[in-house]
Amino acid sequence: MEVGRKMANMLGTDDDLNFKETELCLGLPGGIAVVAAGNETESSSSPKTNGKRGFSETVDLKLNLQSKESTMDLNKNLDDNGSKEKSGSAKDPAKPPAKAQVVGWPPVRSYRKNIMANQKNSSEESGNSGAALVKVSMDGAPYLRKVDLKMYKSYQELSDALAKMFSSFTMGNYGPQGMIDFMNESKLMDLLNSSDYVPSYEDKDGDWMLVGDVPWQMFVDSCKRLRIMKGSEAIGLAPRAMEKCKSRA
Amino acid sequence: MSEQMSDDDERQQSPPSDLDFTSNKARTCIVTGSVSGHTEFQSPYPDQVLENVLENVLHFLTSRRDRNTASLVCKSWYRVEALTRSELFIGNCYAVSPARATARFTRVRALHLKGRPRFADFNLMPPDWGAHFNPWVLAFAKACPWLEKVYLKRMSVTDDDLATLAESFLGFKELVLVCCDGFGTSGLSIFVSKCRQLKVLDLIESEVSDDETDWILCFPEGESHLESLIFDCVEYPINFEALERLVARSPSLKKLKLNRYVSIGQLYRLMVQAPQLTHLGTGSFSPSEIAGQGDQEPDYVTAFAACKSLVCLSGFREIIPDYLPAIYPICANLTSLNFSYANITAEQLKPIISNCHKLQVFWVLDSICDEGLQAVAATCKELRELRVFPVDAREDSDGPVSEVGFQAISEGCRKLQSILYFCQRMTNAAVIAMSRNCPDLVVFRLCIMGRHRPDHVTGEPMDDGFGAIVMNCKKLTRLAVSGLLTDKAFDYIGRYGKLVRTLSVAFAGDSDMALKYVLEGCPQLQKLEIRDSPFGDAALCSGLHHYYNMRFLWMSSCRLTYQGCQQIARAMPRLVVEVIRSADEEEMDVCVQTLYMYRSLEGPRNDAPKFVTIL
């Protein structure tokens, strides 16, 4: 028994190394290398728990499915001697190795995990990792939604996503790169008049701007929340938006 | 516990009524003191006198265990005890129905309910399993309108429930929600606006959804009776100006725990208004982004120094360690310090902790490393409770704390009663040392984060360490085990863990014997939660003699089969046997993913979701 267990341990340890390499990870590719190399684990990115609450819930869900699959597989082989995890790793190398991260382990509440993940995000200088979750409200809709701006690469993609979320919303004709031409006042007015709804956003300065006034990446960095407002209301924003645009140029 | 007594009560309905009458007469004699001729004397209502006396006496009985015992003496004591019970504790909301509870206990002032099993916190169960507060609030609204306090843990509370609470109970005073969900800021708004007598509103680790309502503004104008306001778990900004006015008009406010959207500058303003605070949650403990460069920083040190009654400090949600020195003035008074959201180093901790001579409760992150723990051990001789949480809660992360810090704590903090310790490395020697150094341990929860990890020095299983804990810590009632464990560890627990009431097991044991040892050996076992351990139907059957004495048994990802669970369900009619699947699994499989079973007077519940099958 003792020898067998020690064997399992040794194999287990080896497999741990393998797990790291073969681990399917939902974070950035650089994540794993940092963890393996670093002593400063507290500040290194955590591939699995990046992002705000919504995101990590998604991650958890995915893990749940995978963990369920592996335990279902092993459940079917009731003659196995060792425990599920051990048998998966030690006795049957033909099976895929058990996931290194298991649902609900270590037993830290998601509440706490989310807070630690949020702290990590806000302390990172690059600000490139993690989700950019912003609230989206639509005038007349009874509920708020949240989108992760980092999931989209262009205004068009964002527009499609918003259209799916709020089925009565369609973005007007935004020109070739999806940007509004603020320089041309009449064109702007046409756009606002023709759309039922227009997306606006609150930027870092707290100002409400029309979506599409800056290049996409700049928008992602400065957008704090989105509001889909009626075109007629948005006209009120236009002058200020144009001012800001002109002052930038 | 009260449900168990009810169980026994029902069996005791059978004693003949003349026996009751005789015992009443005898008691009347004792009460009045005279012996002769008393059996002839027709006192007006002997039962009435008895009941009046009993009522007066039983009012003083507060411990619910004592009350449960008293209620078993005879029918009349049962009746009077029920009339005088003011605090009703129900450890499993499905063990008894609201109707039954309100029928028996008609004058309850405080209701304490617990819902979901603890392992649900770790995503081991799909959401919407149950534990709804709604039927309870409706039943109590009708039957006990003088209810003043509600304490809920792991229950689902809706906005409507909050509205009902506020509208149906005129003198409502205290609401404490721990690990609850299902409600939002609009529910809170209605609640606070209608509860004019509110003294306590504590939201602890609960999920509050943002309906964009300004609930702080909804507190009624005029002097407030607030004594405690805890909202550090609310993950949305609040109206600070409204909060400031609220604090200013709450002269009785003693406990205030802010959320991370309150900056340190705002904290200052609140502290200046409320130097009488005893419990403070500091919010973010960093400046807001809007603070200008040239602005003068308020004198935080003076603000803290003015809070002479401050004994409990927490918060530090987004700490800028530069501001830590502000709390120096109060360190010497602190009995409770929660740094468990503050990613600080040993160097940053030391100047604080070296002054905390009176500290009894300390929650911290493992970022302080073994060195930080050594500093704690050097100063905090009065420490009763220590919790060390991981910054990086993954199996394969580097562990900044180990057996070194653990042993240091055991040597320095001899009065330790409760420990929760997350680590990546541990040795039997350190655990054995703690079992000897800290004989007062009541709660021992060690989480070695890597599954099946042995003693990292000897390579041995962790059996001997946990064995020493159950052997030497004679007051132990709660135990959570981890690391590589064989059946031997459970043999120890069964043999020596005679007072153990709660046991948590994960990825441990070799065979059914392990579970048998525990079920046969631990007479006080109430709550048993097991995951991913090789225990099967045979082991489950070995607990049949005990399941009615337990609050619940949870077993997930073990070796149970549908048939095995059905056998139990048939053998024990008062046990509710729930088999829980993952939300997307459609059919019942031979193997059981999760078993959750509990005693109940009500039989299967009628609000079970699709993924739950009750056998």
Report the alpha-carbon distance of residue B71 to residue A23 in Å, rounded.
58
Residues 190-249, chain A: which have Cβ within 8 Å of B? none
pLDDT for position B230 = 98
| Among candidate residues B499, B518, B517, B511, the one with its CA nearest the CA of residue B537 | B511
- Whether residue B530 sits in one domain with residue B555: yes
Task: State how many domains chain B has.
Answer: 3
Range name among A59-68, A172-181, B225-234, B508-517 with the lowest pLDDT average: A59-68
Mark residue B190 as left, alpha or beta (left: phi above 0; alpha: psi -120 to 50; beta: remaining): alpha
Using a CB-CB cut-off of 8 Å, the residues of chain A touching B122 are 103-105, 107-110
Q: What is the mean pLDDT of residues A224-237?
A: 80
Which one, of B406, B366, B361, lies nearest residue B383 by Cα?
Answer: B361
Name the closest residue on chain B to residue A52, using Cα atoms: B235
Residue A83 to residue B532, Cβ atoms within 8 A: yes
Same domain membership, residue B530 and residue B480 = yes
B317, B395, B584 ranked by CB distance to A101: nearest:
B395
Checking if the pLDDT of B481 tops 50, the result is yes
What average pLDDT does this structure show over B45-67?
A: 80
What is the distance, to the nearest Å, from the Cα of residue B9 to the centroid of all Cα atoms in its chain? 28
pLDDT at residue number B253:
97
pLDDT band at A95 (very low <50, low <70, confident <90, very high): very low
- Residue B341 sits in the same domain as residue B397: yes
Nearest to B592 by CA among A71, A234, A5, A246: A71
In chain B, residues with a C-beta closer than 8 Å to the C-beta of A86 are 452
- The answer to whether residue B14 sits within a structural domain is no
Report residue B43's pLDDT band, with 50, 70 and 90 as the boundaries: low
Mention every residue, 6+ apart, whose C-beta is less than 8 A from residue B231: B201, B203, B238, B257, B258, B259
Residue pair B611/B585 in contact (Cβ under 8 Å)? The answer is yes
pLDDT band at A32 (very low <50, low <70, confident <90, very high): very low
Two structure tokens written together for B483: 């690391």
Which residues of chain B have a CB within 8 Å of the CB of A1? 486, 510
**Is B131 a member of any domain?**
no
Pairwise CB contact (< 8 Å): A83 & B593: no
Residues B458, A157: Cα–Cα separation, whole Å: 57
Range B485-490 average pLDDT: 97
Portion 51-110 of A in contact with B at CB < 8 A: 53, 60, 64-65, 68, 71-72, 75-76, 78, 82-86, 100-110
Q: pLDDT-based confidence at A131, cuts 50/70/90? A: low
Q: Extract the tokens encoding B62.
A: 């507060």
Q: Same domain for B396 and B504?
A: no
- Find residues 135-164 of chain A whose CB sits inside 8 Å of chain B: 144
Q: Please state which of the ranges A123-132, A184-193, B114-123, B368-377 shows the lowest mean pLDDT.
A: A123-132
* Domain A133-230 coded CATH 3.40.50.2000: no
- The encoded tokens of residue B229 equal 């306001």
SS3 content of chain B, % helix, strand, coil (to 5): 35, 15, 45
Chain B contact for A189 (CB, 8 A cutoff): no
Between strands B502-506 and B478-480, the pairing is parallel
For residues B570 and B444, state if they share a domain. Answer: yes
For the segment B367-406, what is each residue's pLDDT rounded down to a tens digit?
A: 999 999 999 999 999 999 999 999 998 888 888 999 999 9
Are A76 and B461 a contacting pair at CB < 8 A? no
Select from B121, B212, B394 the Cβ nearest to the Cβ of A101.
B394
Of A16, A39, A75, which has the smallest distance from its Cβ to B396's Cβ? A16
- Residues on chain A touching B395 (C-beta within 8 angstroms): 100-102, 105-106
- Tell me how far CA of residue A129 lies from CA of A133, A157, B68, B239, B390, in angstroms: 12, 20, 56, 30, 21
Same domain for B441 and B554?
yes
Instruction: Give the position of tokens 């007015």.
Output: A189
pLDDT above 90 coverage of chain B, percent: 78
B541 φ/ψ angles, rounded to the nearest 5 degrees: -65, -25
Comparing alpha-carbon positions, the chain A residue that sits nearest to B344 is: A42
Contact assignment for A103 to B124 by CB distance below 8 Å: yes
Both tokens assigned to B104: 């028996």
Can you state the angle between helices B46-58 and B75-84, rounded to 10 degrees?
50
- Based on the fold, state whether residues B526 and B475 are members of the same structural domain: yes
A115 band by pLDDT with thresholds 50, 70 and 90 = confident
Question: Which of A206-215, B37-46, B542-551 has the least mean pLDDT?
Answer: B37-46
Q: Say yes or no to pLDDT of A176 above 70.
A: no
pLDDT at position A180, please? 59
- Token pair listed for B577: 């046997």
Residue A147 has pLDDT above 70, yes or no: yes
pLDDT higher at B515 or A166: B515
Note whether residue B236 is domain-resident: no
Q: Do A108 and B506 touch (CB under 8 A)?
A: no
Ranges B60-69, B104-113, B485-494: which has the least confidence = B60-69
- pLDDT band at B483, cuts 50/70/90? very high
Strands A145-148 and A133-138: antiparallel
Instruction: State the Cα–Cα distance between residues B554 and B556, nearest whole angstrom.
Output: 7
Q: Is the predicted pLDDT of residue A35 greater than 70, yes or no?
A: no
Q: What is the amino acid identity at position B448?
A: I
Helix (H) or strand (E) holding B406: helix B403-412
Question: How much is the pLDDT for A125?
Answer: 43
Give the pLDDT band of residue B312 (cuts 50, 70, 90). Answer: very high
pLDDT confidence band for A124 (50 / 70 / 90): low
Any domain includes B339: yes
CATH label of the domain that carries residue B372: 3.80.10.10
Please give the Cα distance from B521 to A121 (Å, whole number): 48
| Strand B612-614 relative to strand B575-580, pairing | antiparallel
φ/ψ (deg, to 5) at B154: 55, 50
Do B400 and B438 belong to one domain?
Answer: no
pLDDT at residue A130 in the model: 54
- Please list every residue in chain A whose beta carbon sits closer than 8 Å to the beta carbon of residue B396: 16, 19-20, 35, 100
Closest CB to A64 among B317, B340, B582? B582
3-state secondary structure of B469: helix
For B553, which DSSP code?
E
Instruction: Write down the pLDDT at residue A168.
Output: 55
Structure tokens at A237: 């924003």
B515/B534 Cα distance (integer angstroms): 9
Number of residues written out for chain B: 615
More confident residue, B506 or A8: B506
Q: Judge: B452–A110 Cβ closer than 8 Å, yes or no.
A: no
| Residue-by-residue DSSP string for B216-274 | GGGSPSS----SEEE-TT--S---HHHHHHHHHT-TT--EEEE-TTS-HHHHHHHHHH-
Q: Is residue B209 part of a domain?
A: no
Helix-then-strand count for chain A, H and E? 10, 5
Q: Work out the pLDDT band at A120, boundaries 50, 70, 90.
A: confident
Query: Who wins on pLDDT, B524 or A171?
Result: B524
Asked if B123 lies within 8 A of A106 by C-beta distance, the reply is no
Nearest to A85 among B210, B397, B451 (CB): B451
**How far B49 CA lies from chain A's nearest CA (Å)?**
54
Tell me: pLDDT of A25 over 80. no
Range of the domain at B337: 319-424
Report which of residues A201 and B316 the model is more confident about.
Answer: B316
Residue B43: inside a domain? no
- Cβ of A103 within 8 Å of Cβ of B486? The answer is no
Distance between the two ends of chain A, CA-based, in angstroms? Answer: 76
| Residue A11 binned pLDDT confidence (cut-offs 50, 70, 90) | very low
Pair (B448, B570) in one structural domain? yes
Q: What is the mean predicted confidence (pLDDT) over B183-202? A: 96
Of A68, A100, A106, the CB nearest to B393: A106
* B490 and B550 share one domain: yes
Among B400, B424, B448, residue at a domain's last position: B424
pLDDT at A203 over 60: yes
Closest A-chain CA to B455: A9
Encoded tokens for B367: 């970022």
Share of chain B above pLDDT 70, in %: 90
Is the domain of B448 the same as that of B556?
A: yes
What residues form DSSP beta bridges with B390? none
The CA distance from B63 to B89, in Å, is 11
Is the pTM above the cut of 0.95? no
Mean pLDDT, range A176-195, rounded to an integer: 62
Which of B444, B376, B458, B361 is CA-nearest to residue B411?
Answer: B376
Report whether pLDDT(A214) > 60. yes
In a domain, B332, yes or no: yes
Mean pLDDT of B424-437: 97
Q: H/E/C letters for each residue in B428-440?
A: HHHHHHHHHHCCC
Give yes or no for A3 touching B (CB within 8 A): no
B109 vs B106: CA distance, rounded Å: 9
Read off the pLDDT of residues B586-598 as tens digits, 9 standing for 90 and up.
Answer: 666 788 999 999 9
Q: pLDDT at position B164, please? A: 95
The answer to whether residue B537 sits within a structural domain is yes
Distance between CA atoms of residues B600 and A224, nearest Å: 50
| Domain end position, chosen among B424, B441, B469 | B424
Question: CA triplet B137, B142, B143: central angle to 5 degrees?
Answer: 100
pLDDT computed for residue B591 by the predictor: 85
Q: Kindly report which listed range (A149-158, A176-185, A197-206, B547-556) carries the lowest average pLDDT score.
A: A176-185
Residue A175 Cα, gap to closest chain B Cα (Å): 34
Q: Is pLDDT above 90 for A138?
A: no
The yes-or-no verdict on residue A65 having pLDDT over 70 is no
Among A86, A91, A100, which Cα is nearest to A22's? A100
Q: For residue B14, what pLDDT is reported?
A: 34
Strand partners, B256: B229, B280
More confident residue, B152 or A85: B152
Instruction: Give A117 to chain B, closest Cα distance, Å.
Output: 9
Asked if residue B442 and residue B397 are part of one domain, the reply reads: no
Tell me the residues of chain A between 10 and 39 that have a Cβ less than 8 Å away from chain B. Answer: 12, 16, 19-20, 35, 38-39
